[in-house]
Homo-oligomer: A and B are copies of this chain.
């Protein structure tokens, strides 16, 4: 297996660091529009593991993710078998096309972007997340190539949990509800708590202010107003109760294709403070990407308000050392258990920032995202997972994934325990 990693930002860097401890592949070509970022990642790996372990297994190259021709050329130059997309979702179409042109398999962690319904954005779907990718599944099947889409943590691990629940825990599923929450805190140099989102504010605004999508068996996909159906979800391992709201996310567009449920939802534990901030930005028009005319010392400039918001906040990639707390990704499932009794479970994985910083010098949210495609590639390399077409993680048997993930590192696994909470009293 020869992997082309597209993007050496936070998630790409963490992917390389996690992969460096594994031996299932021949080579990872670490690429970026700015090759010095790729070289920095490889320098870190060399420093940590020694030149003998890294040289030849990890090589740097530059790439233009916005150009399918560039992606295909880099893939062919390095005889790539698997293209691993680790950049912003706006580059999905070009990397996806480049991988196809190069005859390589493809993986990503976020899918092609949505477009709101032109007249009823808050009740009807327009173009949905991933729709453009699922549309060409027949071509990928015919070419006997695999596009494993949405294999980060959410989507990704959440979908694996959903498949596990369907196979092993439930005879009938009412709701597959991805629930994501954290208790992360970032402090400034004086130890004061500051507002510093752990993920790109640009993407977070996009995600949170787009109309959230819900799937119901008798209705299909439909949308709501942003921040709909707030609920307080209690997260495990000390994170505790967090206010969660519906957010547009891939899982809702993926799971109904392979799994049987009455309802599929995604709720993000933004918390009241963050929800309030996003609402205020929207109310003031500061979420807008349409440039406005602003006076500057050099005369008027046309700037997108959302870019100004991003420019005022700390770079999410830089806040790891000043952050404490845990992030939890998981799947809340309700329905009827194998025994015919009502059942409610929460399947989850928690990532602790202190641990990911100490072990990988990676912030916990990006590290948790990067973990899952490494595991998936290992399952594809060993043949535990195989297939063709454009598919999500729930297409595959969840058991080998969760087993390899939880097995201690000393025994060849990833040493990442996952949890199962039965939530109905007795």
Contacts and interface: CB of A to CB of B under 8 A. Distances in A.
Given A276-B276, A301-B303, A303-B301, A284 B296 contact: no
A298 to B, nearest CB: 7
A291 B297 contact: yes
A286 B301 contact: no
Interface string A285-297: 1101001111111
B288 A296 contact: no
Contacts of A291: 296-297
A311 interface: yes
Nearest to A201: B284
Nearest to A277: B280
Most chain B CB within a 10 A radius of its CB, from A288, A291, A308: A308
Copies per complex of this chain:
2
A420 interface: no
Contact of A312 (B285, B297, B301, B311): B285
Interface in A55-104: none
Nearest to A194: B283
Contacts of A285: 312-313
Interface string A310-351: 011100000000000000000000000000000000000000
Given A276-B280, A280-B277, A280-B280, A311 B296 contact: no
Interface in A17-34: none
Contact of A308 (B276, B280, B292, B298): B292
A42 to B, nearest CB: 28
Contacts of A136: none
A195 interface: yes
B286 A277 contact: no
A305 interface: yes
Most chain B CB within a 10 A radius of its CB, from A277, A286, A304: A286
B283 A308 contact: no
A51 interface: no
A284 B303 contact: no
Given A276-B276, A308-B308, A312-B288, A294 B303 contact: yes
Q: How large is the interface on A (under 10, 10 to 19, 20 to 34, 35 or more residues)?
A: 20 to 34
Contact of A284 (B288, B298, B312): B312
Contacts of A195: 283-284
A277 B281 CA distance: 9
Interface in A270-286: 276-277, 280-281, 283-286
B294 A302 contact: no
A294 B286 CA distance: 14
A303 B305 contact: no
Contacts of A304: 296
A177 to B, nearest CB: 29
A307 interface: yes
A305 B298 contact: no
Contacts of A307: 294-296
B286 A311 contact: no
Contacts of A283: 195, 277
A309 interface: yes
Nearest to A278: B280
Contacts of A284: 195, 277, 309, 312-313
Contacts of A301: 296, 298, 301, 303
23 contacts: A195-B283, A195-B284, A276-B276, A277-B280, A277-B284, A280-B280, A284-B309, A284-B312, A286-B286, A286-B308, A286-B312, A292-B308, A292-B312, A293-B311, A294-B308, A294-B311, A296-B302, A297-B302, A301-B301, A301-B303, A303-B303, A303-B308, A305-B312
- For the complex of A and B, list the 5 residue pairs with the smallest distance between their C-beta atoms, beginning with the closest: A301-B301, A285-B312, A280-B280, A292-B311, A308-B308
Given A277-B284, A284-B309, A296-B307, 15 more contacts: A277-B283, A284-B312, A288-B312, A292-B308, A292-B311, A292-B312, A294-B303, A294-B307, A294-B308, A295-B307, A296-B301, A301-B301, A303-B303, A305-B308, A305-B312
